[in-house]
């Protein structure tokens, strides 16, 4: 549910075309964007992480946009964005079963602190 809401927030703000393929969610300015979301209780802090599953490195996306959505769905935060290559250059590998903040990784992940993300405008040239 959080992922669907994040996609709708992105489309409402930036437009683009919803695709929801196995590899990406939105086609935006000829880039294949995978919109990522995590739930939270409170305002996300800069040291919280944005994450992508390891198996998604092989997917045909070009960029990621990250959101945190309050568990009660009353608030959402656009955290930032990264081109796929940039994300994996800077992110840290987090193995399955390891804690990534309050989350226990159910699959191998790559995580990057929110403070290291760029704004959507910077990444997409808004």
pLDDT in tens, 114-125: 999 999 999 998
- Count of domains forming the chain: 1
Asked whether the beta carbons of 51 and 109 are under 8 A apart, the reply is yes
The range of the structural domain enclosing residue 36 comes to 2-124
Instruction: Reply yes or no on whether the pLDDT at 23 is more than 90.
Output: no
pLDDT in tens, 90-100: 999 999 999 88
Q: What is the CATH number of the domain that holds 113?
A: 3.40.1350
pLDDT in tens, 30-88: 999 999 999 888 999 999 999 999 999 999 999 999 999 999 999 999 999 999 999 99
Beta-strand pair 99-100/76-83: unpaired
């Amino acid at each position: 549910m959080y992922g669907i809401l994040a996609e709708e927030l992105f489309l409402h703000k930036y437009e683009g075309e919803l695709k929801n393929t196995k590899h990406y969610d939105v086609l935006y300015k000829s880039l294949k964007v995978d919109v990522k979301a995590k739930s939270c209780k409170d305002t996300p802090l800069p040291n919280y992480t944005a994450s992508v599953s390891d198996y998604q490195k092989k997917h045909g996306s070009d960029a990621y946009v990250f959101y945190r959505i309050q568990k009660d769905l009353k608030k959402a935060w656009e955290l930032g964005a990264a081109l796929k290559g940039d994300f994996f250059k800077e992110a840290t590998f987090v193995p399955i079963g390891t804690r990534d903040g309050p989350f226990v990784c159910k699959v191998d992940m790559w995580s990057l602190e929110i403070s290291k993300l760029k704004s959507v405008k910077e990444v997409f040239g808004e």
